[in-house]
Amino acid sequence: MLWVKESIEQLLSKLHTNLETGLTKEQVKQKHAEFGTNEFEEGKKESLLQKIGHHLLEITTIVLLFAAAISAYLAITTGYGWAKVVVILAIVVLNMVLGIYQENSAEKALAALQSMNAHLTTVLRDGVRMQVDATELVPGDIIEMVAGDMIPADARIISSSSLQVEESALTGESVPVEKDAAAEVSEKAPIGDRLNMLYSGCLVTNGRATAVVVEIGMETEMGKIAGLLNSTSKLMTPLQLRLKELAKRLSIVALLAGILIFIIDVYIYGETIIETLMIAISLAVAAVPETLPVIVTLTLAYGVQNMVRKNTIIRRIPAVE
Torsion of CA 294, 296, 300, 302, to 10 degrees: 60
Q: Which of 214, 229, 244 is the last residue of a domain?
A: 229
Judge whether 120 and 160 are in contact, CB under 8 Å. no
Q: How many CA atoms lie within 13 A of 121 on its CB side?
A: 30
Residue 65 lies in a domain: yes
15, 164: one domain: yes
Query: Is residue 132 assigned to a domain?
Result: no
Residue 43: inside a domain: no
pLDDT tens sequence for the chain (321 residues): 679 888 999 999 999 999 999 999 999 999 999 999 998 876 677 788 888 888 888 777 887 788 788 778 878 877 777 887 888 888 888 888 888 887 777 677 666 555 545 688 999 999 999 999 999 999 999 999 999 999 999 999 999 999 999 998 888 888 999 999 989 898 888 998 999 999 998 999 999 999 999 999 889 998 887 777 666 556 667 777 787 787 778 778 877 887 888 888 888 877 777 677 767 766 766 666 666 676 777 777 777 777 767 666 666 666 666
Domain match, 156 and 27 both: yes
Instruction: Verify that 56 and 196 share a domain, yes or no.
Output: no
Domain with 274, as residue range(s), is: 48-114+235-320
- Residues 176, 33, single domain; the answer is yes
73 shares its domain with 211 = no
* Same-domain pairing of 88 and 201: no
User: In angstroms, what CA-CA distances link 89 with 68, 72, 85?
Assistant: 7, 11, 6
Of 206, 229, 252, which residue is a domain's last? 229
Domain count, the chain: 2
Provide the 3-class DSSP secondary structure of residue 122: strand
Asked if residue 127 is part of any domain, the answer here is: no
CB neighbour list of residue 218: distance below 8 Å, 6 or more residues apart: 40, 41, 224, 226, 227
Q: Which helix (H) or strand (E) holds 197?
A: strand 197-198
